[in-house]
Amino acid sequence: MNHLAYAGNGHNIAKQYLTKEILEATPEKLLLKVYDFAIMNCQKKNVAKTNKALQVLIDALRYDTDEVKEVSIGLFKLYKYCQDKMREGNYSEAHKILSELRSSWVGIFKK
Protein backbone atom coordinates (compact mmCIF):
# COMPACT_ATOMS: atom_id res chain seq x y z
CA MET A 1 0.00 0.00 0.00
CA ASN A 2 1.33 3.42 -0.92
CA HIS A 3 1.07 5.46 2.30
CA LEU A 4 1.81 8.71 0.49
CA ALA A 5 -1.10 8.19 -1.86
CA TYR A 6 -3.32 7.35 1.10
CA ALA A 7 -2.26 10.50 2.96
CA GLY A 8 -2.89 12.58 -0.13
CA ASN A 9 -6.34 11.06 -0.49
CA GLY A 10 -7.12 11.99 3.13
CA HIS A 11 -6.12 15.57 2.38
CA ASN A 12 -8.46 15.63 -0.63
CA ILE A 13 -11.34 14.26 1.45
CA ALA A 14 -10.75 16.89 4.13
CA LYS A 15 -10.57 19.61 1.48
CA GLN A 16 -13.82 18.39 -0.11
CA TYR A 17 -15.53 18.35 3.30
CA LEU A 18 -14.34 21.87 4.10
CA THR A 19 -15.43 23.14 0.69
CA LYS A 20 -18.88 21.58 1.13
CA GLU A 21 -19.15 23.00 4.66
CA ILE A 22 -18.30 26.51 3.46
CA LEU A 23 -20.64 26.39 0.45
CA GLU A 24 -23.55 25.28 2.64
CA ALA A 25 -22.83 27.61 5.56
CA THR A 26 -25.07 30.48 6.57
CA PRO A 27 -23.61 34.00 6.43
CA GLU A 28 -23.41 33.90 10.23
CA LYS A 29 -21.36 30.69 10.21
CA LEU A 30 -19.10 32.06 7.49
CA LEU A 31 -18.42 35.18 9.56
CA LEU A 32 -17.51 33.04 12.57
CA LYS A 33 -15.23 30.88 10.39
CA VAL A 34 -13.34 33.99 9.26
CA TYR A 35 -12.95 35.04 12.89
CA ASP A 36 -11.78 31.52 13.79
CA PHE A 37 -9.21 31.66 10.99
CA ALA A 38 -7.99 35.08 12.14
CA ILE A 39 -7.80 34.04 15.81
CA MET A 40 -6.02 30.77 15.03
CA ASN A 41 -3.42 32.49 12.86
CA CYS A 42 -2.99 35.28 15.38
CA GLN A 43 -2.15 32.60 17.97
CA LYS A 44 0.38 31.16 15.51
CA LYS A 45 1.79 34.68 15.02
CA ASN A 46 1.14 34.40 11.30
CA VAL A 47 0.77 38.04 10.31
CA ALA A 48 0.04 37.37 6.62
CA LYS A 49 -2.84 34.96 7.23
CA THR A 50 -4.30 37.03 10.06
CA ASN A 51 -4.19 40.13 7.88
CA LYS A 52 -5.82 38.18 5.04
CA ALA A 53 -8.73 37.28 7.36
CA LEU A 54 -8.94 40.86 8.62
CA GLN A 55 -9.09 42.09 5.03
CA VAL A 56 -11.97 39.69 4.33
CA LEU A 57 -13.77 41.14 7.36
CA ILE A 58 -13.07 44.69 6.16
CA ASP A 59 -14.29 43.89 2.64
CA ALA A 60 -17.55 42.49 4.07
CA LEU A 61 -18.46 45.71 5.88
CA ARG A 62 -21.55 47.55 4.64
CA TYR A 63 -22.15 51.27 4.62
CA ASP A 64 -25.59 51.45 2.98
CA THR A 65 -27.65 52.81 5.92
CA ASP A 66 -26.75 55.20 8.73
CA GLU A 67 -27.30 52.53 11.39
CA VAL A 68 -25.10 49.97 9.63
CA LYS A 69 -22.57 52.61 8.61
CA GLU A 70 -21.88 53.58 12.23
CA VAL A 71 -21.23 49.97 13.26
CA SER A 72 -19.12 49.32 10.15
CA ILE A 73 -16.91 52.34 10.83
CA GLY A 74 -16.31 51.10 14.37
CA LEU A 75 -15.46 47.61 13.17
CA PHE A 76 -13.22 49.01 10.43
CA LYS A 77 -11.22 50.93 13.04
CA LEU A 78 -10.90 47.83 15.24
CA TYR A 79 -9.79 45.66 12.31
CA LYS A 80 -7.19 48.24 11.25
CA TYR A 81 -6.01 48.51 14.87
CA CYS A 82 -5.57 44.73 14.95
CA GLN A 83 -3.56 44.86 11.73
CA ASP A 84 -1.34 47.54 13.26
CA LYS A 85 -0.87 45.52 16.46
CA MET A 86 0.06 42.43 14.44
CA ARG A 87 2.69 44.39 12.49
CA GLU A 88 4.08 45.67 15.80
CA GLY A 89 4.29 42.10 17.11
CA ASN A 90 1.57 42.66 19.73
CA TYR A 91 -0.28 39.45 18.95
CA SER A 92 -1.97 39.24 22.36
CA GLU A 93 -3.77 42.56 21.88
CA ALA A 94 -5.03 41.58 18.43
CA HIS A 95 -6.03 38.12 19.70
CA LYS A 96 -7.97 39.63 22.61
CA ILE A 97 -9.92 42.00 20.36
CA LEU A 98 -10.71 39.36 17.74
CA SER A 99 -11.83 36.88 20.40
CA GLU A 100 -14.09 39.47 22.03
CA LEU A 101 -15.59 40.45 18.69
CA ARG A 102 -16.26 36.80 17.86
CA SER A 103 -17.96 36.29 21.21
CA SER A 104 -20.08 39.38 20.59
CA TRP A 105 -21.22 38.04 17.23
CA VAL A 106 -22.09 34.67 18.78
CA GLY A 107 -24.25 36.51 21.33
CA ILE A 108 -25.96 38.53 18.60
CA PHE A 109 -26.67 35.43 16.51
CA LYS A 110 -28.28 33.66 19.49
CA LYS A 111 -30.91 36.40 19.87
Render pLDDT for 10-60 as a digit per residue (tens, 0 to 9). Answer: 668 877 766 766 677 899 999 999 999 999 999 999 999 999 999 999 999
The structural domains of the chain, with segments of one domain joined by +, span 26-110
Taking residues 96-107, report their average pLDDT: 98
**Contact at 8 Å (CB) between 82 and 98?**
yes
Where does residue 16 fall: left (phi above 0), alpha (psi -120 to 50 degrees), or beta otherwise?
alpha
CATH class of segment(s) 26-110: mainly alpha
